[in-house]
Amino acid sequence: MIKHFLIGCCYYPEHWDEKNMRADMERIKGLGFNAVRMGEFSWSMYEREEGKYDFSLLLAAVRLAEELGLDVILGTPTAAPPKWLTDKHPEVLCTNTNGVVMQHGSRQHHNHTSEVYLRYCAAITEAMVKTFCGCKNVIGWQIDNEFNCHRSRTCSEADDIAFRKWLEQKYTTIENLNQAWGNRFWSLEFNAFSQVTCPRPHPSYDNPSWMTDYYLFLSDTVVNYASVQTKIIRAHMPDAFITHNGYFRNLDYKKLTNECLDVLSFDSYPAFQEKKGKALGRNAAYRLALTRSCSEKFLIMEQQAGPGGQLSYLLPTPLPGQIRLWAYQSIAHGAAGVFFFRYRTALFGAEQLWYGIYDHDGEENYRSREIRQITEEISRLGELFLRERQHNEVAIFSDYHNECVNQVESFVQDDRWEIFMALNHQNIHADFVGASDDFSRYKVIIFPHITIVDEALSAQIERFTKNGGIAIISARSGVKDKHAHYRPQTPPGVFRALAGCRVDWFTALADDEKQYVQFDGRKYLAESYCERLEAEQGEAVGLYTEGFCKDKPAIVKNSNVYYLGFYCRESAGLYVDLISKHITADAPIDANLEEIVIGDHKMYLNHGDQAIPLDGYDLLAQGEFHQIAPYGVVLVERAK
């Protein structure tokens, strides 16, 4: 549905004097943009009184954009309900887990489960879509804004009512629910669904099955909330695409995308990582890959264009070159469009420190000049970036159900991020896949600590390995059923035959205890938790080096399956060494150089502050190069 590469910015005409709108729009066009994103967050202006709609200012902006040849993505304003609505219907306000009702004065103070609020959302969405359905340059809609950005758990009365309905639909009878949750433990049994609530603070520990269902429910409430708007938009504007901008907690983005969206979007602000250390903006690759796993061609609805910040913090200002670097990082990882946030920095409101392309003064600066360089390059190469994609040999399994369990059983920290970035630094780029994806596209798939596994997924992995794929399964996998109950089986549960081993003993490592794994002539630190394995059909290829587990199996290989009985956040390089036995990747040229193959081309992104010697012909600059400048980007044609 995206017909050409979209390059633009976020513009808020309501924040500026209307008489300057033409000058603003002409300046946006002059930056080389072909699209603009507008409309979210202005409900109080669109509907000052209930049922009395006025979209005249936004309509004028859309028509002016059409005159100037700019496509438009409009956002529904439902992330910020007006005061008259919350005064009239205080039940639409969300309540946090401590029972505090969120009040008007910011954003996202509404409740996703309130039937009253859903009706108002439907009404404002329908009024808005009917107003703009005749505007040919409105090519897409962003529903709401950043679901779960500021609160990802709510416990209002409306949530309780919705949770009960959700549970009754899932379990049919209260007896089934009690059994699924194991409610005989600690006398938690319910006599009726009407007794069930969303989890509140308790004096002791939570029931993991209750909590897992609650997190699944929270995601479904957002999907249902989104569907109210998408159905209306599709009814009136079937040719316009629908998107939403993530990536936040307690939301199954794959389900959201499949059921509600045409394309998923991501808001990319690498300066959050740069605040932790130089060259760490590269870490944005992780969420870009997660977004790509839901939507092969995704959008960046907000790309960092200046120093971001709220009243309580200010991120580092992008150095010359970094805006271009981060934009191309998004593109290399699959973005089919990039919108810089924002055109000009707001003079008032909570985001006065969230700087855009232009500062408060509106004057030209190095950022606007840098963006003109990007748009000139995109005008020549945008179709290439739409056509050519990454084709990676490695994937990491990820599913929302296991994310929920990991959030509940948080005694050990997941090492998925560390594994992904260790691979990234060695030019081994990974996708994220779920059970509904085609495993046969990959040579290697990592299954990191997937506690909940059913027989169907186990069989799918077995077929993948029998057809030549390599599966890497790690500690605490295959031991729980769909209700988060431990299986009455020896770990690794449903994977025992596939992995060719059993867990003989396990432990959480003491704070002062160090455990290492010897594999292929090198030692790797095992983190927090480890399992002593006993090889059955498989062969021990890695051994522990310390204490009670010394010289006992830590890694067992059974045909095309590796089972790793430990976590290794600091030593995630072990995955690099293991995977390198099964695929071929170019050795990294420099530690700060991200190298990404895109079809018949390769992009080099220098995240460091030093030039990197390299020769070639840069398609972006249309000339020879002999080094990649600090924060520089080059695109080369791959040798055939």
> How far from 490 is each of 432, 476, 494, CA to CA, in Å?
28, 11, 9
Cβ partners under 8 Å of residue 113, min gap 6: 154, 156, 158, 159, 161, 162, 221, 225
Tokens 């219907």 belong to which residue? 89
Which residue in the list 47, 274, 302, 531 is annotated as catalytic?
Answer: 302
Q: Which one, of 85, 119, 618, lies nearest residue 377 by Cα?
A: 618
Q: How far apart are CA 516 and CA 523, in angstroms?
A: 6
Which residue in the list 146, 418, 594, 595 is annotated as catalytic?
Answer: 146
Q: Which one, of 244, 250, 183, lies nearest residue 216 by Cα?
A: 250
Cα 527–532–535 angle (5° rounding)? 130
Helices 322-332 and 285-294 pack at an angle, to 10 degrees, of 30
Other Cβ atoms less than 10 A from the Cβ of 640: the count is: 4
CB-based burial of residue 545 (10 Å sphere; 0-12 exposed, 13-18 middle, 19+ buried)? middle
Catalytic residue status for 302? yes
Sign of CA pseudo-dihedral 101, 103, 109, 114: positive
Contact 145, 98 (CB under 8 A): no
DSSP reduced 3-state for 30: helix
Catalytic residue status for 146? yes
Backbone φ and ψ for 533, nearest 5 degrees, come out as -100, 155
Contact 323, 300 (CB under 8 A): no
User: Which residues are identified as catalytic?
Assistant: 146, 302
